[in-house]
Amino acid sequence: MSDVNLLLLIVLGTIALFVWNRLPLVVVAMGSALALYATGLQSLDQVFRGFGDPVVMFVASLFIVTAGLEAAGVTAWIGQQFERLVAGNPDKLLMVGMLAVAALCPLINASGAVGALLPVVMLMVVRLGAQPARFLLPMAFASGAGAHLALTGAPKNVLIADAAANYGPRAIGFFEFALVGIPMLAGTVVIVLLLGRRLVPERTAPSLPRDLSKHARTLVEQYRLAQDVFALVLAAGSPLIGKPVRDLGLPPDLSLIIVSDPEGVPRLEGVMGAGDRILLRGPPTTAADFARATGTRIRTVSDEEAAGKLINRAAGVAEVVIPQRSPLIGTRVFPGMVTRGGDLAVMAVQRRGDPLVGEVALEAGDHVLTQGSWSALLRNEARAGVLLVDRPDTVRRQLVPLGTGARAVLAIVLAMVTAIATGLLAPAVATVLAAGAILVLGLVTVEDAFRAINWTTVILIAAMFPLSTALVDTGAAQMVADRVVAVTGDGEPRLLLAIIFVLAVAMGIVVSNTATTMILLPITVMSAAAYGISPLPALMALSVATSASFLTPVSTTANTMVMGPAGFRFADYWPLGLPLTVWYFVVAVGLVPMIWRF
């Protein structure tokens, strides 16, 4: 069997396994690469060369940048603006959802944008009393157009730009993709608004997220943190300034809840300073006498104030339950004490719904409310002997917009985009430096960075490189290109773009758009060369075609991400996806050659 036939057999087998969908994508991709080595079509170095390609590093680093934006509360802030714009209107939610996802794509790529806004949209759907299906599918589809607004919108854009730089007359600019991306987005929004209500099937989501918007207020009421509670603020000259935190000298009928610094972070050790805030529980007259004696300002605490101080940018709370057989059973605790780790403070203890005052021995079933910095809460969330009611990270991402490090991460992202857009740095270098800066500044831990990377996407790209290379090396790409040119004959070059579009969409029904781009790139370049035209319009038509991944849930990561939360079935995508595909065909065949001349 000739090398070309052997390679085409491997390509067809790879596609068939993608369609079968019984094996993980990375297993199929790695299997195709190893098949090339086993048949002698590629050397061992060629098979694994993709793992060292700059494109792979670019994509992996982008996931870390996305994690930095989420950890710093940038996406939470976007969610708040989102909710303000929507104002409880479902149609506004649909419109704003699509535009917001598209706007985020150039910053954190398409899958990152959908991932960042998915919880925001799900929460607003819960507050509207609706089902997420109507909103999530248009949002996923809008990410296809948003991915075409800049080079960083999707991994395939980098592949297209790299091919243009290697085989074309010039590289494709950072924002040059937007020349067709904006019409793609406009058409998507119009089609969804006109046809979406009829074409998106009604599905019931298997589960909906908890709305934590009133979480702090609920905890304040449950633990009665504003009932007979008084806030004392240390003024300059107070005799308490300079004293150790645990040396307040409280009267017997006053109990300490917590001492916090002016930023709201619990002061667990050291001495007290001006502006520190002391929360006490007890009789009003005793609290007032203590305030006068210590030269502090005193005021009652409302539910709203207590909720605001409970969860803020610097600190948060964790509610834990003591389970049966916990080693903490019998441990003596009291409000205001510091936990054994030295980085959290106990605010309140509750047993069978009743708050406990003073020092108590923990029993199974007790609820303990602790407060500390967000980093301390995250460090302690896996502590043995307690069960978390709500993960601190989940609470922070919903309730704390633009938290610690937000300015730093925004500056890093701006510098990254500027460096890539101006050509100052190669995309891979700029994103690796941005990811490194986020790690160095401690905005994301190394462990969280590794968890943030979508390894399926990274390995898929790396493992598909040898297949793309083999298509060129064996002459298979040239053979397919010659046949494509033979079909078009001496006809209009737009016919070539139409064939490329149809091939890409057909493959995109069962194969991810990244894998489709990898396979069709050499065929597209060879076809343009054989036809005697510039490869730029052919490559941009391929880019538009691989963005038209609307017909199945496996075509893009974004499509897959919304399938479970919305309760979609495999066949739910094509009714709305088909008219969008037709619009993208018009853009690829009609508009692309008007911008990038043959």
Q: How far apart are CA 172 and CA 148, in angstroms?
A: 12
pLDDT digits (tens, 9 = 90+) for 568-589: 777 788 899 999 999 999 999 9
Per-residue confidence (pLDDT) for residue 565, from 0 to 100: 78
Per-residue confidence (pLDDT) for residue 2, from 0 to 100: 82
Smallest CA-to-CA distance from 448 within 486, 521, 397 is with 397
Mean pLDDT score, 125-134: 81
pLDDT digits (tens, 9 = 90+) for 102-128: 988 887 677 767 877 777 788 788 777
Where does the pLDDT of residue 21 fall: very low under 50, low under 70, confident under 90, or very high at 90 and above?
low
Residues 456 and 356 in one domain: no
Q: For residue 360, list its beta bridge partners.
A: 333
Are the CB atoms for 525 and 473 separated by under 8 Å? no
Residues 146 and 7 in one domain: yes
Are the CB atoms for 13 and 5 separated by under 8 Å? no
Are the CB atoms for 234 and 296 separated by under 8 Å? yes
511 versus 311: the higher-pLDDT residue is 311
Lookup: tokens for 415? 């510098």
Residues 68 and 97 in one domain: yes
531 in any annotated domain? yes
Q: How far apart are CA 594 and CA 589, in angstroms?
A: 9
Rounded mean pLDDT of the chain? 84
Domain boundary residue, one of 389, 424, 450: 389
Where does the pLDDT of residue 250 fall: very low under 50, low under 70, confident under 90, or very high at 90 and above?
confident
Smallest CA-to-CA distance from 404 within 270, 313, 500 is with 313
27 in any annotated domain? yes
366 versus 313: the higher-pLDDT residue is 366
Smallest CA-to-CA distance from 542 within 597, 503, 484 is with 503
Per-residue confidence (pLDDT) for residue 554, from 0 to 100: 66
Smallest CA-to-CA distance from 320 within 223, 189, 438, 185 is with 223
384 in any annotated domain? yes
Residues 27 and 161 in one domain: yes
Domain boundary residue, one of 389, 406, 433: 389
400 in any annotated domain? no
The H or E element that residue 349 is part of is strand 345-351
Residues 61 and 196 in one domain: yes
Residues 226 and 193 in one domain: no
Can you give the C-alpha Rg of the chain in angstroms? 29
Residues 172 and 221 in one domain: no
Q: What is the DSSP letter of 202?
A: P
Mean pLDDT score, 265-277: 85
Smallest CA-to-CA distance from 174 within 432, 417, 534, 535 is with 417
- State yes or no: pLDDT of 301 exceeds 80: yes
pLDDT digits (tens, 9 = 90+) for 498-534: 988 988 888 777 566 777 787 788 888 888 887 788 8
Residues 155 and 278 in one domain: no
CA torsion sign, 421 to 425 to 427 to 429?
negative
Are the CB atoms for 558 and 114 separated by under 8 Å? yes
Domain of 266, CATH number, reads: 3.30.70.1450
Q: How far apart are CA 383 and CA 380, in angstroms?
A: 5
DSSP helix/strand/coil, 278: strand
Count how many residues are written for the chain. Answer: 598
79 versus 100: the higher-pLDDT residue is 100
Lookup: tokens for 557? 């990561």
DSSP helix/strand/coil, 195: helix
Per-residue confidence (pLDDT) for residue 191, from 0 to 100: 95
- State yes or no: pLDDT of 78 exceeds 80: no
Per-residue confidence (pLDDT) for residue 481, from 0 to 100: 67
Counting residues of the chain whose pLDDT is more than 70, the rounded percentage is 96
pLDDT digits (tens, 9 = 90+) for 313-346: 878 899 999 999 999 999 999 888 888 777 888 8
Per-residue confidence (pLDDT) for residue 526, from 0 to 100: 82
pLDDT digits (tens, 9 = 90+) for 211-242: 777 888 888 888 888 888 899 998 888 888 88
pLDDT digits (tens, 9 = 90+) for 155-181: 788 888 888 888 877 878 888 899 999
Number of domains in the chain: 2
Q: How far apart are CA 327 and CA 274, in angstroms?
A: 39
Q: How far apart are CA 399 and CA 76, in angstroms?
A: 7
Range of the domain at 533: 3-207+415-595
Where does the pLDDT of residue 34 fall: very low under 50, low under 70, confident under 90, or very high at 90 and above?
very high
Residues 353 and 464 in one domain: no
Where does the pLDDT of residue 145 fall: very low under 50, low under 70, confident under 90, or very high at 90 and above?
very high
Residues 271 and 361 in one domain: yes
Counting residues of the chain whose pLDDT is more than 90, the rounded percentage is 19
Mean pLDDT score, 235-254: 85
164 in any annotated domain? yes
Per-residue confidence (pLDDT) for residue 490, from 0 to 100: 64
407 in any annotated domain? no
Per-residue confidence (pLDDT) for residue 584, from 0 to 100: 96
**225 vs 218, 310, 322, 355, 437, CA distance in Å?**
10, 9, 21, 10, 40
Residues 143 and 36 in one domain: yes
Residues 177 and 247 in one domain: no
Domain boundary residue, one of 389, 404, 423: 389
154 versus 432: the higher-pLDDT residue is 432
396 in any annotated domain? no
CA angle 556, 579, 590 (to 5 degrees): 95
Least confidently predicted of 241-255, 358-372, 453-467: 453-467
- State yes or no: pLDDT of 149 exceeds 70: yes
Lookup: tokens for 151? 């080079």
Smallest CA-to-CA distance from 468 within 406, 426, 534, 517 is with 517
**324 vs 330, 341, 360, 366, 380, CA distance in Å?**
12, 22, 17, 10, 19
Pairing verdict, β 255-260 and 354-356 = unpaired
355 in any annotated domain? yes
- State yes or no: pLDDT of 30 exceeds 60: yes
Per-residue confidence (pLDDT) for residue 338, from 0 to 100: 83
Q: How far apart are CA 234 and CA 278, in angstroms?
A: 8
561 versus 240: the higher-pLDDT residue is 240
